[in-house]
A and B are shown apart, each in its own frame.
Chain A
Amino acid sequence: MKPFSFERPNTPAEAAAAAARVDGAKFVAGGTNLLDLMKLQIETPTHLIDVNRLGLDKIEASSDGGLRIGALVRNSDLAADQRVRRDYAVLSRALLAGANGQLRNQSTTAGNLLQRTRCPYFYDTNQPCNKRLPGSGCSALHGFSRQLGIVGTSDACIATHPSDMAVAMRLLDATVQTVNGAGAERRIAIADFHRLPGDTPQIETTLQRGELITAVTLPKPVGGKHIYRKVRDRASFAFALISVAAIVQRDGTGRVALGGVAHKPWRVEAAEAAMPRGAKAVAEQLLAEAMPTEQNAYKRPLVERTLGAVLAEAKG
């Protein structure tokens, strides 16, 4: 860990201004991912801005019938919220499928969106990794890739986004609200929030320098059956090999998003149009552009079969 300076501002705008001002500054909230990465010198911020006391920890009804989730709402609290459990059950289920109780107590809504990948080469500073050290190469592409991405990948990076929560947020068409160093607010559709790796896998979101997430909002509930199915080798405390988030209406229409297959939560409009035709058709659309490695080719049939189970459960 490199030495760093630390401050604890009082308002979101002050926090954003500080981040814009100081090169190498980072926000810290729960710290469940950032501190680990700092100890390994994968993250080397020069300045930490503690956002825990900015009052962004409330869940409130929004004027359009949706829900406004403060950036600092802890994962445990979000998963347990009555409104979330009733109207956005897929979000609650996704949250509870992730990490463990202790980590969920500490992790925040915004922090969860900003998790770094769990690619093992990203975690080993002796190995080339374009995400950690741009231009050094991707060790995973021809290395250990069983866990990694199959769609939307590039020659520069096949990492996945590890979050379960983000998959549900994508399914629910959430919006990320921010404030920047100049005090300007912005709303980013979750679809546009995470980036594909392309040639710059080190840039993972569309946040600008100094931009602070203040809230994540959900539009009004869409009803239907909410399912989150996470597939993993061990029963708990493991990242998804793949996951399927779905909202299915009685007529068989609905939405579907995947986790564990791409650099971002993966959702394809054409796939949703195919939902009444069944899992095979949906999977074909979702993974039309898939370029799996030999080690993670199993994810293609796994997605289709899991979709099949999810759609059957929805009919249930």
Chain B
Amino acid sequence: MKFDTPATTNPIDQLKVIGKPLDRIDGRFKTTGTARYSYERHDVVPNPAYGHVLGAAIAKGRIKSFDLAAAKSAPGVLAIVTADNAGALDKGKNNTAKLLGGPEIEHYHQAIAVVVAESFEQARAAAQLIRVDYQDDGGSFDLRAGMADAKPAKVLGGPADSAVGDFATAFAAAPVQLEQMYSTPDESHAMMEPHATTAVWDGDRLTLWTSNQMIAWGVGEVAKTLKMPKENVRLVSEYIGGGFGSKLFVRTDAILAALGARAAGRPVKLTLQRALVFNNTTHRPATVQRIRIGADKDGKITAIGHESWSGDLPGGKPDGAVSQTRQLYAGANRMTATRLAVLDLPEGNAMRAPGEASGMMALEIAVDEIAEKLAMDPIEFRILNDTQVVPDNAKEASKESQTVGSASKSELPFSQRQLVQCFQTGRDRFGWAKRNPKPGEVRDGRWLVGLGVAAAFRNNQLTKSAARVRLEQDGRIVVETDMTDIGTGSYTIIAQTAAEMMGVPIDKVVVLLGDSAFPVSAGSGGQWGGNNSTAGVYAACIKLREMIAQKLGVNSAEAAFTDGEVRTGARGVALADAARDGALSAEDGIEYGDLDKKYQQSTFGAHFVEVGVDAATAEIRVRRMLAVCAAGRILNPKTARSQVIGAMTMGVGAALMEELVVDKRRGFFVNHDLAGYEVPVHGDIPHQEVVFLDETDPMSSPMKAKGIAELGICGVAAAVANAVYNATGVRVRDYPVTLDKLIDKLPAVG
């Protein structure tokens, strides 16, 4: 189905099942331990051998020699695979570093060997017996040191540099100016389930049960890496214990499980040990950002500039921290610039809201700062500088110019933009009026109390997505698509979509996901999964409805699918009757025209945070949080809320504790376990309130929905940092905001 004109009224608008806060249908399986994760496929692979990965002990250099003798003769060992005996391997196009290193080492903990043994413990013990002689070549590990030599780098969906009007002149002339440097650290996805795969060969055909967000991409990447035909690769990912972008791409676990299984002649299961996850896999890259905002005395932005530096391995990509600044606030004169330094740290890549998350961390402090210079309320400042058209449409301009884009003359409107309404709703609900604009004035016992606010912004992305929907003889509806559920609620909203479309209760719908044998979906990433995958199911359901109508001899345009029946006028026929001669199956998908070129589709929100800062120790604790979101139709308010509060929690982590600490001498992330890399625990998270504004977006899809899962993190950290400033009067611009950055600046303990 081609979606190229705005959606009109369709069966989804009935909202009998869609839009209801239903429990997730997989919740029972997860809470009873019956959800089958990739490392636990005893049902299909009863007797696997175990793989254990050895990571490189240096950041950059070469393996001079391996001593595998002791490991080979260790009890239970079936095979050891290194680059020497793995056979020819290619590299996936989404991988910057090789998934099996050697003899060259590109980063710390890059996999250099996998040991396969009868038991996990034997594989681990043998891996620890491998002796490696390295040539350590040192490397570049310090982003700030690399900034001077950083090169322009294109940001996803736009050029490296963009310019509108004359930023330099306008900024210099602005009566009120803000110029500051900000930094965000490297962050780890730190999802609960480490990367894990069970691999089985059947002749030259490979099946991988693997924890992966993007099944079709994964098939292509596995085939490319192993130099085999795509047709011979099957990926299955029924349940995923968190991804956050870490499992967008094929990683070491999948490739080494496959190589280990081939070498051992046995099915192999392999999970990355926790201590390897942080340096072996990808992470959100650190940034240094410079923001300059000029405003007139009334608070209107006249000039806004945002530059960002990040680093990655040779051939890698930058963090897109400036991207939202092209779209969020008005202002006639603008510039953005993205620079990439070569660093020999582990590979930087996508993590929940890549770009916007780190960009908003800086931009939304800067906005707070200039509002204060203007003696304006920060919400008033944002409302004053709202725009209903994209102020810097550098995406379009990039076609003409590879480097410096200039905004197109034609104005690109937003399909929906309720940023102002988000702030207005939240302001009342959170009691913003009680905020004392003078920092450091409010005290509650031992706590200095402050309120902070920030905008949330994340784009909505359209990408084609297909599904197969079948009416069974017993009247059940079975949906098959390679869409994944990474904890987001995909199973549930897809079931709701099929139930709404086919007029059956949700318990009559069976959803099967995450198998490359199924039609190719949008997959899970970039908050595109929910809208696109359900739109694909919608398309397949429309096709199935036509087949059913034809089978029953009714006009599909006049037929209503409701209460398990197909009704035309007063006549109703049981839906199952259409399948009396055999199941009916329809496959279709959603494909998009150019509505996303004619209208900028974005999601908006406002985050409100109250913090307490211990007046003596400077410990920071969040006391209240509110997010108001405008993100199209909310398909299931319960799972959507779960996404937003999870993202808010991750934002608190980014604000207050998450940092992969770089050892700049040895080139690795030092705190590579969950004791050293702190993420919020229950004690850190107070009551979180989420409000969804009423919105449908007919430009996005027949579902009229948009993404929500990444909007929730964008801006949270800045709202926390702004609240800390309001509480203490101490402005911290280098994340995470920790007590050591405040302690010397607080008033004496009295």
Contact = CB atoms under 8 A, between A and B. Distances in A.
A233 B673 CA distance: 16
Given A235-B621, A305-B743, A309-B446, A143 B663 contact: yes
Interface stretch (B394-402, B454-462, B664-672, B711-719): B664-672
Contacts of A312: 749
Given A41-B128, A126-B57, A234 B680 contact: yes
Nearest to B746: A305
B616 interface: yes
B45 to A, nearest CB: 24
Nearest to A233: B657
Contacts of A142: 665
Contacts of A239: 675
B740 A146 contact: yes
Most buried by A among B617, B682, B740: B617
Interface string A16-30: 000000000000000
A1 B657 contact: no
Contact of A231 (B670, B671, B739): B739
Contacts of A241: 739
A234 B657 contact: yes
B744 interface: yes
Nearest to B619: A231
Nearest to B616: A309
Interface string A281-316: 000000000000000001001100110110010000
A1 B673 CA distance: 18
A95 B358 CA distance: 38
Contact of A302 (B615, B682, B743): B743
Given A233-B656, A301-B744, A238 B275 contact: no
B121 to A, nearest CB: 6
B680 A144 contact: no
Given A241-B739, A309-B446, A236 B666 contact: no
Interface string B582-617: 000000000000000000000000000000001111
Nearest to B121: A1
A115 to B, nearest CB: 12
B682 A143 contact: no
Nearest to B124: A1
Nearest to A312: B749
A120 B671 contact: yes
A127 B681 CA distance: 29
Contacts of B734: none
Residue among B621, B656, B678 with the highest chain A CB neighbour number at 10 A: B678
Nearest to A244: B617
B676 A120 contact: yes
Interface string B167-209: 0000000000000000000000000000000000000000000
Interface in A1-17: 1-3
A144 B738 CA distance: 15
A306 B616 contact: yes
B678 A120 contact: no
Contacts, number: 101
Nearest to A242: B617
Given A41-B128, A120-B671, A123-B673, A234 B749 contact: no
A40 interface: yes
Interface in B52-109: 57-58, 75
A279 interface: yes
B683 interface: yes
B675 A118 contact: yes
B616 A298 contact: no
Nearest to B652: A234
Nearest to A295: B740
A93 to B, nearest CB: 16
Nearest to A118: B675
B738 A233 contact: yes
Interface in A94-143: 118, 120-121, 123-124, 126-127, 139, 142-143
B125 interface: yes
Nearest to B666: A127
B678 A235 contact: no
Contacts of A229: 617
Contacts of B665: 142-143
A39 B124 contact: yes
B670 A143 contact: yes
A54 B617 CA distance: 43
A53 interface: no
B661 interface: yes
A308 B749 contact: yes
A33 to B, nearest CB: 11
A45 B218 CA distance: 42
A237 B681 contact: yes
B558 interface: no
Contacts of B675: 118, 239
A1 B738 CA distance: 36
A102 B734 CA distance: 35
Given A144-B663, A298-B739, A308 B621 contact: no
B121 A144 contact: no
Contact of B739 (A143, A236, A302): A302
B684 interface: yes
A232 interface: yes
Nearest to B75: A3
A302 B617 contact: yes
Contacts of A238: 678
B651 to A, nearest CB: 14
B636 to A, nearest CB: 31
B681 A235 contact: yes
Interface string B728-750: 00000000101110011010010
Interface string B106-125: 00000000000000010011
A279 B744 CA distance: 16
Interface string B632-675: 00000000000000000000000011000101011000111101
Given A120-B671, A127-B666, A312-B749, A236 B683 contact: yes
Contacts of B616: 305-306, 308-309
19 contacts: A1-B121, A3-B75, A118-B676, A120-B670, A120-B671, A120-B672, A123-B676, A124-B670, A124-B672, A126-B57, A126-B58, A139-B663, A144-B671, A146-B661, A235-B621, A302-B739, A302-B740, A306-B616, A308-B749
Given A143-B666, A144-B670, A233-B678, 15 more contacts: A118-B676, A120-B672, A123-B673, A139-B663, A143-B665, A143-B670, A144-B661, A233-B619, A233-B736, A234-B657, A234-B680, A234-B683, A236-B682, A239-B675, A309-B615
Interface of A: 1-3, 39-41, 118, 120-121, 123-124, 126-127, 139, 142-144, 146, 229, 231-239, 241, 279, 298, 301-302, 305-306, 308-309, 312
